[in-house]
Homo-oligomer: A and B are copies of this chain.
Amino acid sequence: MSTITRPDLAPPEALESPVGVNNFSIVAATVNGSGSQTANNTLVRALFKMGIPTTGKNLFPSNIAGLPTWFLIRVSSEGYITRREKSEILVAMNRATVTEDIAKVPAGGVVIVPLEWKIPQDRTDLTYYALPVQQFAKESGANAKLQPYVANMVYVGALTALLGIDEAEIEAALSYHFGGKRRPIELNLGVVKAAIAYIRANITKTDPFRVQRMQATTNKVLIDGNSAAALGAVFGGFTVCAWYPITPSTSLVDALIDYAKDLRVDADTGVHNYAIVQSEDEIAALGMVVGAGWAGARSMTATSGPGISLMTEYTGLAYFTEIPAVIWDIMRMGPSTGLPTRVSQGDVLSVYYLGHGDTRQVCLLPANMAECFEFGWKAFDLAERLQTPVFVLSDLDLGMNTWMTDQFEYPTQPLDRGKVLTAEQLAELKNTWERYGDQDGDGIGQRTLPGTDSPYAAYFTRGSGHNKYALYTERGDEWEANLARLHRKHEYARTIVPAPVVDEMADARIGIIAYGSSDPAVQEARARLANVGVKTSYLRLKALPVNATVVDFIRKYDRVYVVENNYDGQMRKILQTEVPDRANQLIQLAHCDGLPLSSEFVAQGIVNLEKEQ
Contacts and interface: CB of A to CB of B under 8 A. Distances in A.
Interface of A: 61-62, 305-306, 308-310, 312-313, 316-317, 319-321, 333-342, 344, 346-347, 349-351, 353-360, 462-465, 474, 476-477, 479-480, 483, 487, 566-568, 570, 573, 576-577, 580-581, 583-584, 586, 592-595
B594 A586 contact: no
A337 B594 contact: no
Contact of A474 (B61, B313, B320, B577): B61
Given A61-B474, A312-B309, A480 B359 contact: no
Contacts of A595: 476
A346 B358 contact: yes
Contacts of A316: 305-306, 309, 334-336
B479 A333 contact: yes
Contacts of A336: 313, 316-317, 319-321, 355, 357, 463-464
Contacts of A340: 464
A-B CB proximity, top 5 nearest: A334-B357, A476-B593, A336-B463, A583-B583, A335-B357
B350 A353 contact: yes
B474 A568 contact: no
Given A577-B576, A592-B483, A309 B356 contact: yes
Given A336-B320, A464-B336, A583-B584, A354 B350 contact: yes
A62 B334 contact: no
28 contacts: A309-B312, A309-B316, A309-B356, A310-B313, A312-B312, A316-B336, A334-B359, A335-B355, A337-B462, A337-B464, A342-B476, A342-B479, A346-B356, A347-B356, A350-B354, A350-B356, A357-B566, A358-B570, A360-B568, A474-B594, A479-B592, A479-B593, A480-B593, A576-B576, A577-B577, A580-B584, A581-B583, A583-B584
Of A309, A357, A476, A593, chain B has the most CB atoms within 10 Å of the CB of A357
A355 B360 contact: no
Contacts of A359: 334-335, 350
A316 B346 CA distance: 13
A142 B219 CA distance: 90
A136 B403 CA distance: 83
Contact of A356 (B335, B356, B477): B335
Contact of A573 (B309, B463, B570, B577): B577
A108 B410 CA distance: 71
